[in-house]
């Protein structure tokens, strides 16, 4: 657990509440939802307020590697993460560079059944989008292992140069933190489809926001949790809230201050 007590009453209360969330011991209402209180987190009223709390003075701090790597917005679903990243990217100063993937069906006999336009429209978990929009300075997350242990799936980086066929970035997390690296386009073949296709694209995505599942193992100083769409799997709320060590650095957007805490008690036995 990321909470350090040192006889700090507020840290102790935060740790105790985290344990209750993790064990599924929080009091629930008639609809099975828990109420988020001000002594556990800073509850905000909108998505824009959540972004402002986590990324305060973004324009002046966008090129600060330490500042970027110690904060993120977490959400249960990819669609929410994508929307948040697009909105914040629009606020970042600078020219937008757009990279389009090259999508092809591996079995040529399926080419008429699955045209290129259809392949381009596919948004799959763990696969970069057909259309990747980037700006210099923005944080990104690696979606594939390129050079372990330096460049692994989940490594966060900051873009420093956008070339035509190569992207230069500085590593923000991990053993190689601070190193400058080159990110190439690579072929990616999804395995969870009834047919096989190959997407040639940079294996990264913007990471102002990330899914809660991707945040496992990350330690943050400031975290925002977007719960307009509720958590849907075991332990997600605990994982999201335990990325930080104090209530004052946890900002949550949850309608009516309520959310579901999914805990399967059989898993804990």
pLDDT tens per residue, range 165-184 = 999 999 999 889 999 999 99
Task: Give the three-state DSSP class for 197.
Answer: strand
Residue 1 in this model has a pLDDT that exceeds 50:
no
Q: pLDDT band at residue 264, thresholds of 50, 70 and 90? A: confident
Residue 71 in this model has a pLDDT that exceeds 80:
yes
Q: Are 3 and 11 in contact (CB under 8 A)?
A: yes
pTM: 0.91
Provide the token pair at 83: 């929307």
Q: What does the pLDDT read at residue 39?
A: 87
Over residues 80-134, the pLDDT tens digits come to 999 999 999 999 999 999 999 999 999 888 888 899 999 999 998 889 999 999 9
Percent of the chain with pLDDT over 90: 80
Residues making up the chain, counted from first to last = 269
Residues 6 or more apart whose CB falls under 8 angstroms from that of 58 comprise: 88, 91, 92
Domain residue limits, the chain: 83-207
Q: What does the pLDDT read at residue 7?
A: 46
CA nearest neighbour of 78 among 120, 122, 40, 108: 122
What is the DSSP-derived secondary structure letter of residue 258?
A: E
Burial class (CB in 10 A: 0-12, 13-18, 19+), 128: buried
Q: How far is CA 230 from CA 75, 198, 258, in A?
A: 9, 33, 9
Helices (H) and strands (E) in the chain, counts: 8, 17
Q: pLDDT band at residue 3, thresholds of 50, 70 and 90? A: very low
Q: What does the pLDDT read at residue 268?
A: 65
Residue 241 in this model has a pLDDT that exceeds 50:
yes
Over residues 206-238, the pLDDT tens digits come to 999 999 999 988 889 999 999 999 999 999 999
Residue 239 in this model has a pLDDT that exceeds 50:
yes
CA nearest neighbour of 99 among 54, 64, 130, 122: 130
């Amino acid at each position: 657990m990321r909470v350090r007590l040192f006889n700090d009453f507020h840290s102790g209360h935060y740790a105790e509440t985290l344990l209750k969330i993790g064990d599924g011991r929080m009091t629930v209402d008639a609809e099975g939802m828990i109420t988020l209180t001000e002594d556990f987190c800073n509850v905000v009223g909108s998505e824009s307020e959540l972004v402002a709390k986590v990324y305060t003075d973004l324009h002046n701090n966008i090129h600060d590697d330490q500042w970027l790597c110690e904060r993120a917005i977490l959400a249960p679903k990819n669609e929410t993460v994508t929307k948040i990243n697009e909105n914040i990217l629009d606020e970042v100063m600078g020219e937008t560079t757009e990279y389009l993937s090259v999508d092809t069906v591996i079995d040529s006999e399926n080419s008429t059944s699955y045209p290129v336009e259809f392949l381009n429209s596919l948004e799959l978990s763990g696969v970069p989008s057909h259309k990747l929009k980037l700006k210099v300075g923005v944080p990104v997350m690696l979606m594939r292992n390129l050079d372990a242990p330096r460049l692994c799936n989940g490594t966060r980086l900051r873009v420093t140069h956008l070339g035509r066929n190569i992207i230069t970035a500085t590593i923000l997390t991990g053993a190689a933190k601070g190193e400058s690296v080159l990110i190439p386009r690579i072929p990616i073949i999804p395995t969870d489809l009834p047919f096989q296709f190959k997407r040639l694209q940079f294996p990264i995505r913007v990471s102002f926001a990330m899914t809660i599942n991707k945040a496992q193992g990350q330690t943050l100083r400031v975290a925002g949790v977007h719960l307009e769409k509720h958590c849907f799997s075991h332990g997600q709320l605990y994982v999201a809230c335990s990325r930080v060590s104090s209530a004052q650095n946890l900002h949550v957007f949850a309608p009516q201050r309520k959310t579901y805490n999914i805990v399967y008690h059989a898993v804990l036995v």
